Structure 1
Amino acid sequence: MSRTWSEKSIYLALPFWCSLALIPLVWGAAIWGGMAFFLVFLATWLLFPFLDLIFGLNLENENTDKDLSSLFWYKLLLLCWPTLQFFTIFGLIYYACSSEFSKLESIGLFLAVGAISGIVGINYSHELMHNSGRIERRLSDFLLGMVLYSHFRSEHLLVHHRYVGTPRDGVTAKYDESFYEFLFRVIPTCLASAFNAEIQKLKRKNLRWYDFKNPFYLYLFLQLSFAALAYALGGSWGIILFFWQAFVAVFHLELVNYIEHYGLTRKYLGNGKYEHTKPHHSWNAAQKATNWLLINLQRHSDHHYNPNR
């Protein structure tokens, strides 16, 4: 018997919900203690690449004219995640700081937490920021605030997509640039470029940089609020764990950024102009399983060619 379209949309979306399995996994690691936090890395770094060998590639391009209602189950996943991540990060801060956890165990556990908030959380925030809805944008800010990287939204939308593959895009890794050179270059430069991009956006509206329409007020409020909550739940050690998971999350984000455009540049046409962004200006990967976890982030050429797809 053939499936209805609603049943088919659930069936197609279901594999992408695999990320939810990481939540009970990291809570289990907290309960078991010791080296159990490695289970998260076994899942994200080893299990999914192994599943890629089994499930192979997906080389099909989705129909862009489909009814938006067919995306309900994909969107629901994005809307559910921020709450799950919030209670996981701060629940585990309280648990680690109020139990008999050793400092070393806590560091290991929040290494795993940071991997989840980076691999899944920042990735989902990226998907949400490309939505035009106000709720989706705020949820993106909510997720980025939890990893102290709120400016990523401004940098990504106003700088990266416009200047990818050019010297003005700090996120395009240079040929022969090592990852660690890239990492410690991109963290400060992207903060500065994001702030400058928002200033220029305000100037076009005849507004000053300190106008309350500058989203950096919201970014700062969210980050300070989350840091204060971490301190309230776990004291000085709680805030150390919070900052640690944020660094690990950003590390994972920038590792992906490093790979996605490494050594690729757009041709300079003169008069400050570059050729249009084309599929060959991004590195792609079509492995099914890891794209389920990363909600097709690895199909990056299409994302830059049509950011709102």
Structure 2
Amino acid sequence: MAIIPAAEVQSLRKALPFWLSLGMIPVAIAGALWGGLWVVGLPVYSWVLFTILDAISGLNEDNADPETPEAGLGYYRMLTVVWVPLQVVLLFWMIWYVPQAAHLGVLEKIVLFFGAGVVSGTVGIVYAHELMHQKPAWERWLGDILLAMVMYSHFRSEHLRVHHLYVGTPRDAVTARYNEGFHRFYPRVLRSCYRSAWAAEAAMLARRGLGAWDKANPFWRYWGLQAGMILLALALGGWQGLVLFFWQASVAIWQLELVNYVEHYGLTRRYLGEGRYEHVLPRHSWNASHRATNWLLINLQRHSDHHYKPDRRFPLLQTYSAEEAPQLPYGYSLMTVAAMIPPLWKRMMNPRVRAWRRSYYPDVSDWHAYNKALNPAPKGAPR
């Protein structure tokens, strides 16, 4: 009988809590098969359960050794890889099954696919984000598949080519301005990010002497994958299935942008003049050490370190003290709910932003200029 090495057992034990996201799959299937109250199971599982687990399990401020080799991360990497086929099968099974399910009423179907959007957004897009930051091309392709399932493929270009370069500056649409409510932020981001993603890729191609419509533009891949998802939804579920597909995609996008709103709200990098800003520092992202939500979101709440080391795999992301980086009072699950209620959000967060300014930039007295573009971006660069 083979004996599993102690190091292997320890690695598996530490990785297993992150696999709790797979619990969404049987909950989704139960909602489709049984209807009734089961159709609200997915939001309850992802939002309520993990908020309760946060309260029970508390904070996790331990850091893994960032020099851990890839070979020691197998169980973590496996999670993000196996999720892709599982989400594809789950979503398109639901698109095939639900339109013909006589026991499900219209409202039940709407609520059920709201939950499917929670799965695609809370887990699918977060895993896509992890995958698209990695060096192996096959992992980035898996990320593209997940993004195409929610019709948001351009997020890869916008995130890598724009957000990581310009976070904390007016050129980054995804950095929520101080005192900007989510309901103003959301349409602004939807308008701006597609254009800035296209402009960033076009500028990259131009530097190689290629035109914006060259076959090397990843938008061809994005459009092809998205078209494939639409045709598959239509073939399996007819027009009703297609409507449900777009409904879950819209919910997933809303989930993504809620998290984007929370991550950098009101935080800005110092303007150095001549269109330049200071380097990104841990202070330019909101962090949360709530243990259970970090299991669900594969350490996305350790956001400062992600901007410091964008290709660092999620189990190795480091947490920071309150002296090094601003901390959220609750995990993302609760904070995104608060973001949907602007008066509540501003009452919670505006004093924290003002305290952050006094702490890190006591010499800056006028912050109005940081809410608009101080200098135009160079021609051909994303704004």
Q: Which residue of 2 aligns with 1:200?
A: 203
Q: Is the 8 A contact 2:27 2:38 kept in 1?
A: no
Matched residues, number: 309
Paired residue for 2:71, among 66, 69, 87? 69
Alignment partner for residue 134 of structure 1, among 118, 133, 137? Answer: 137
Alignment partner of 2:274 out of 268, 271, 274: 271
**1:3: how far off?**
6.3
TM-score by length of 1: 0.98
3-state SS in 2 of match to 1:269: strand
Structure 1 residue 36: Cα displacement: 1.6
Q: Give how far 1:279 is off.
A: 0.7
Partner of 1:179: 182
Q: Contact (CA 8 Å) 1:35, 1:108: kept in 2 or not?
A: no
Query: Secondary structure at the residue paired with 1:199?
Result: helix
2:162 to 155, 159, 163: 159
Q: Which has the larger radius of gyration?
A: 2
**Structure 2 counterpart of 1:92, which letter?**
M
**Which of 291, 294, 300 is the equivalent residue of 1:291?**
294
| Partner of residue 36, structure 2 | 34
State how 1:22-61 maps to structure 2 within 5 Å: 22-61=24-63
Q: Provide, for residues 209-260 of structure 1, a one-character-per-residue CA deviation record: whole Å limited to 9, x for no partner.
A: 1110100001001111101111111111111000000000001000000000
Inter-partner Cα distance in structure 2 for 1:93 and 1:219: 21
Structure 2 contact 54–290 (Cα < 8 Å) conserved: yes
**CA distance in structure 2 between the aligned counterparts of 1:61 and 1:282, rounded to whole angstroms:** 18
1:93 to 92, 95, 101: 95
Q: How far apart are 1:109 and its partner, in Å?
A: 0.6
> Structure 1 counterpart of 2:122, which letter?
I
- The corresponding residue for 1:220 is 223
Q: Secondary structure at the match of 1:35?
A: helix
Structure 1 gap segments, 5+ residues each: none
Query: What is the identity, as a one-letter code, of the residue corresponding to 2:51?
Result: P
Which 4+ stretches in 1 moved above 4 angstroms?
none
Higher alpha-carbon deviation: 270-279 or 117-126 = 270-279
* Shift of residue 102, structure 1, vs aligned partner: 2.1
Cα deviation for residue 305 of structure 1 reads 1.4
8 Å Cα contact 1:18/1:293 also seen in 2 = yes
The amino acid that maps onto 1:243 is F
Structure 2 gap segments, 5+ residues each:
313-383
CA RMSD across the alignment? 1.3
Q: Letter of the aligned partner of 1:103 in structure 2?
A: V
Query: Are positions 1:259 and 2:262 aligned together?
Result: yes
- How far apart are residue 199 of structure 1 and its match? 0.2
For the residue of structure 1 that corresponds to 2:272, the secondary structure is strand
